[in-house]
Structure 1
Amino acid sequence: MSATYMVVEPNNGDLDMRPAPNAYEIGELVPSERPDLEGVAPVLYRLEHVERQLAYVQQLAVSHWRDGRPPLVCGIFETQAMTDDVREHLASSLLLDKPGGGRGVFRYYDPRVYSHLCWILRSSQLAALMGPVTRWTYLDETGDWQEARFDVVKHEKLAVTGEQYRQIARIALVRGALEPLRAAGIRIPQDLPRFLDIQLHKAEQYGLAVEDQIPFALHGVLVAPNFDRHPKLQSILARSRETPYAEAVAQWGDEDWQRIRQECARHPLA
């Protein structure tokens, strides 16, 4: 028999269930290897009156999204596993093994992170991450409810490649690049986050400072994928240590970028 739970980020607000019945608090998702995370870890709750609680919980998540607040209700999920098994797996998943050794804290449960994992991880990896979870529901950054279903994977821990680990580390930058596009009313295709990540990776390889990587990635979207191979850009990139990228191109107007776009389209540059 399936039970319904939710993961809450208490640092993002107080969970006031009224007028619905209070959810039963299971406790923090603290990995046994990192007891120091107690007090800052997400909290697991069980919905024991789903028919009276679920609609309110969803309404609460939407309210936070409309107010522009970080998510309080991070994920609602179903499982047939015992509560202790669920808690242990979700807590242990907060630690992600680095391919080169060591571990990092992995906020996979945060919908602002989770929504990007579908293009970073394989389906089998996502299933390993979620373990006993059979269905995970979350509110994405556009205000739409998304649902992922899984076959249960027991006693398997997520392992990622070096490139996947770096992609996960770049999620915050991908999100930062998406914000001005959404604010401008630009439609966000499903593959755009992956494309932005490619451009951000190139920015890293050019040695651009973090504050210059998002402008660079946006130019890759708005001008041309290979815009960085244009001679004018190559000249700017070669001097990026002396003059930051964003400062160097700040004086360029629409005509300059249009010329670069046209030349890149006529003469694809390797």
Structure 2
Amino acid sequence: MQLDHRLFEAHQYALINPLQIDRRIAKLWPCEPIVPKELLGQKHLLPYLIRLEEIEPDARLAALDETVHYARDHDRIPFSALLKCNADSQRVRNHLARMMVRKFDGEKMLFRYYDPRVWNALKWILLSSQLDALLGPINAWTATVDKGARWQSYENSGCNKDGMHLTSDQLYAISSLASVNRVIDRLHREGGSIEGAGLSRRVFDEMEKAGECGLTDPDDKEAYAFASVFQSPEVHNTPRYQEALRIACLEPGAFRSAVSDPSDEEVDEPSLEQTEQGAWQHG
């Protein structure tokens, strides 16, 4: 994980996730948690807003080096996002907190848009005007892509007149991100070098094709998408996969076991990343 000092110094704020980075590291910085009023009792789940300009340059670089070193040692991303914004910290914090609570299936949920994997998927799920509304007073949002290999910025165009109303299709895509990210994690574990900004969309599209083929079980859809991306979409035309599809349409949940070797099955407890896959989370 590399974070160029010049890139870092171009930002006024940063977000750090205390579920990913030890609170001792977070406290190196002038920061406070972003807490929506609906989630006052859930501070431990929520990111901190770091006020980068409130720390002297030498101390800032020392804190940066320690944060990056910790992240590298623990295979973490040092910051969830870097923010370019001239607004005062109270305005930024209030806006980010307000955006964190959205209604989904009639229930108010924590919207984890600040997670880099969720954010990168939102760039193909949402319209530019919706992304701009999500950013509000923030001029640019910089987050990691390609499994943390590099940083990429999104510039706010200011075209946010339509607000953040989400369509049913967008809500469905966002709610699918936990499954999408599980497939991507499996691709990485299996040694796949497949990456790129469009990977989450490609996986989502393949899961949709799985549904069109008659698969209804989430695990079956994930296994279908994994095979499409890891091998080829054409693999589903082979006799083995055709038979697996036939069985799974009659017995939901049978597809992955029908196409996997016993050694492919997961046996380990889920890691922290595996439990923080999606965009929605109960408060």
User: Which of the five TM-score ranges fits, normalised by the shorter chain?
Assistant: 0.7 to 0.9
CA distance 1:169–1:79, shift in 2 (3 Å): same
1:248 aligns to 2:255 (yes or no): no
> Which runs of 5 or more structure 2 residues have no equivalent in the other structure?
1-9, 262-283
When residues 147 and 58 of structure 1 are mapped into structure 2, their CA distance, relative to the original with a 3 A threshold, is farther
* Match among 33, 36, 43 for residue 38 of structure 2: 33
Q: CA deviation at 1:207?
A: 3.9
- Please report the TM-score for the alignment, with normalisation by the length of structure 2: 0.72
Match of 1:258 in 2: none
Amino acid of the residue matched to residue 48 of structure 2?
A: V
Whole-Å separation in 2 of the counterparts to 1:114 and 1:125: 12
- In the alignment, does 2:80 pair up with 1:74? yes
Aligned residue runs from structure 1 range 115-154, under 5 A: 115-140=120-145, 141-152=147-158
Q: Percent identity?
A: 26
Structure 1 counterpart of 2:170? 164
Q: How many angstroms does 1:223 deviate by?
A: 4.5
Aligned residue identity for 2:109:
G
Letter paired with 1:194: R
In the alignment, what sits opposite 2:201? 194
Over alpha carbons, which structure has the higher Rg? 1
Q: Which has the higher contact order (CA 8 A, sep 6+)?
A: 2
| C-alpha RMSD of matched pairs (Å) | 3.2
Give 1:16's aligned residue.
25
Tell me the residue number matched to 1:266.
none
1:85 is aligned to: 91
Measure, in 1, the Cα distance between the counterparts of 2:33 and 2:260.
Answer: 47
Q: CA deviation at 1:46?
A: 0.6
Q: Is the 8 A contact 2:14 2:49 kept in 1?
A: yes
- For structure 1, which runs of at least 5 residues remain unmatched after alignment? 252-270
Is 2:219 aligned against 1:214?
no
1:213 CA displacement? 2.6
The more displaced of 122-131 and 149-158 is 149-158
- Cα 1:62–1:138 change in 2 (3 A) is farther
**Distance (Å, rounded) in 1 between the aligned partners of 2:171 and 2:62:** 36
Following TM superposition, by how much is the alpha carbon of 1:81 offset from its aligned partner in structure 2, in angstroms? Answer: 1.6
Counterpart residue identity of residue 114, structure 2: Y
Q: CA deviation at 1:43?
A: 1.6
Residues 102 and 111 of structure 2 are in contact (CA less than 8 Å); yes or no, is this contact kept in structure 1?
yes
2:125 corresponds to 1:103: no
Distance 1:14-1:81 versus aligned 2 partners, 3 A rule: same
Count of residues in Structure 1 that have an aligned counterpart in Structure 2: 246
Query: Alpha carbons of 1:61 and 1:150: their partners in 2 closer, same or farther (altered >3 Å)?
Result: farther
Give the TM-score normalised by structure 1.
0.75
Structure 1 Cα separation of the partners of residues 42 and 259 of structure 2:
43
Write the distance in 2 (CA, Å) between the matches of 1:112 and 1:66.
18
When residues 117 and 154 of structure 1 are mapped into structure 2, their CA distance, relative to the original with a 3 A threshold, is closer
| Contact 1:177–1:218, Cα closer than 8 Å, also in 2 | yes
Q: 1:11 Cα deviation (Å)?
A: 2.4
**Structure 2 CA distance for partners of 1:30 and 1:153, relative to 1, 3 Å:** farther
Evaluate the alpha carbon distance shift between residue 168 and residue 64 of structure 1 in structure 2; reply closer, same or farther with a 3 A threshold: farther
1-structure distance, mates of 2:132, 2:153: 13
1:41–1:173 Cα change, 3 Å = same
Match of 1:262 in 2: none
Distance 1:243 1:86, change over 3 A: closer
Q: For the Cα contact (< 8 Å) 2:129–2:161, is it kept in 1?
A: no
Q: 1:110 to 1:52 in 2, by over 3 A?
A: farther
Three-state SS of the structure 1 residue aligned to 2:166 is: coil
Secondary structure of the equivalent of 1:190? coil
- Distance of 2:162 and 2:107 partners within structure 1: 18
